[in-house]
Structure 1
Amino acid sequence: MSITADLIRGHTDTIILAKLMECDSYGYEINKAVYKASNQMYELKEATLYTAFKRLEDAGCISSYWGDQSTGARRKYYTITELGKKTYQQKINEWLEAKRLLDTLLHTD
């Protein structure tokens, strides 16, 4: 079973922030990590990923820098900011509240 984009929509930013909480990273590496962590059930589309990066950077949740080119292609790395860490925690709390509500409404608790 694969997870549809509709089910995940609205959580893309939080997923990216979660990966950046672990370490600085670049787009392709984040996409691979999400795919692996989801047991190959979910993969971010490239357009979705880079649109989210722009949105998060414009909001001050992440910043970017160019990596060292000596190891191959020059990559744009992203790092989470203090505001991004606060936003991540807020989104996690919102998710937990929504999960509790859905568990109650769907009688899954």
Structure 2
Amino acid sequence: MSITSDVIRGHTEPIILAHLLEGDSYGYQINKEIMEKTNNSYELKEATLYTAFRRLEQAQLIISYWGDQEVGARRRYYAITEKGREAYQDYKKDWENAKAIIDTLLK
């Protein structure tokens, strides 16, 4: 079953932050791992992903830098900041609260 974007909408930033908690990464790799973790049930559109990167960077939740690959195209890497780690914890608490309410209402 495919996850509808309506269910995930509004959670793109915490999904990216959660991924970056595991280490620095770049857009294609993040999306690839999201697909792997969801058994290809969910994929971020490229425009959505890079718009989220811009919002996160403007909010100082992540920083970006260019990789130094000697082969292939240069990649822009993203790293979570301390402020981003704190924001992730807030997002996670909000999600847990919302999930508890939804679980109660749907039973």
Alignment TM-score, normalising by the size of structure 1: 0.96
Q: 1:4: how far off?
A: 1.2
Query: In the alignment, does 2:45 pair up with 1:78?
Result: no
Q: 1:69: how far off?
A: 2.5
Dislocated runs of 4+, deviation >3 Å: none
Aligned counterparts of 2:67 and 2:25: Cα–Cα separation in 1: 10
Q: Which residue of 1 aligns with 2:32?
A: 32
Q: 1:73: how far off?
A: 1.3
For 1:12-27, what aligned pairs fall within 5 Å after superposition? 12-27=12-27
Give the residue type in structure 1 aligned to 2:65.
Y
Q: Which residue of 1 aligns with 2:95?
A: 95
Q: 1:30: how far off?
A: 0.2
Give the residue type in structure 2 aligned to 1:89.
Q
Q: Which residue of 2 aligns with 1:65?
A: 65
Aligned counterparts of 1:37 and 1:83: Cα–Cα separation in 2: 26
Give the residue type in structure 1 aligned to 2:78.
Y
Q: Which residue of 2 aligns with 1:7?
A: 7
| Structure 2: runs of 5 or more not aligned | none
Root-mean-square deviation (CA, aligned residues, Å) is 0.7
Aligned counterparts of 1:57 and 1:4: Cα–Cα separation in 2: 26
Alignment coverage as a number of residue pairs: 107
| Structure 1: runs of 5 or more not aligned | none
